[in-house]
Amino acid sequence: MAEKKQSFENHTKFVPLFHGIVLPALTVNVLWTVYRLYRYPAADTAMHFVLALTLLAFAFNARVTALRVQDRVIRLEMRLRLRELLSSDLRGRIEELTPRQLIAMRFASDAELPGIAAQVLRDKIEDGKTIKRLIRDWQADNLRA
């Protein structure tokens, strides 16, 4: 089945295994151990609660780590794209762009990226959603973590 055309409205990533199974199961596990600890306070139920929290924290950490690595790759990719696409006067300002700004601009086509980058620098636009709303020719990013 062909993927739905990506846009600002639907570009967020839902990972079925994480968001639909792991996170709910670990959350229910924490709630269950809280209930058990309340009803039957003992050292072993306290340890089950600590283990449940640890598992939930581990899952969040794994997801955040993957997203952090992805953001670093996007930052590198965007700096390379901008070096190729920007005029010489703007090329020297690439380092002024924050990781959030670079990540938001990744959906812009090569044709509109120089204009968006110039506007972001000129108007000091920091908000990723605002930057993404400037994009008219949305380029899907289907390889996200």
CA distance 17 to 63: 11
The predicted structure's pLDDT at residue 116: 97
pTM of model > 0.85:
no
Q: What is the mean pLDDT of the chain?
A: 93
Region 108-120 average pLDDT: 97
pLDDT score recorded for residue 144:
77
Q: Across-strand partners of 138?
A: 108
pLDDT tens column, 84-105: 999 999 999 999 999 999 999 9
Task: Specify the higher pLDDT residue, 118 or 3.
Answer: 118
Contacts 24+ apart (CB under 8 A), 33-38: none
Q: What residue segments make up the domains of the chain, in order of their start?
A: 15-133
pLDDT (tens digit, 9 = 90+) per residue, 30-40?
A: 999 999 999 99
* Residues 85-112: b if buried by 16+ CB within 10 A, e if exposed: bbeeebeeebeebeeebbbbbbbbeeeb
Q: What is the pLDDT of residue 36?
A: 97
pLDDT at 12: 79
- The angle at the Cα of 23, spanning 13 to 61, to the nearest 5 degrees, equals 80
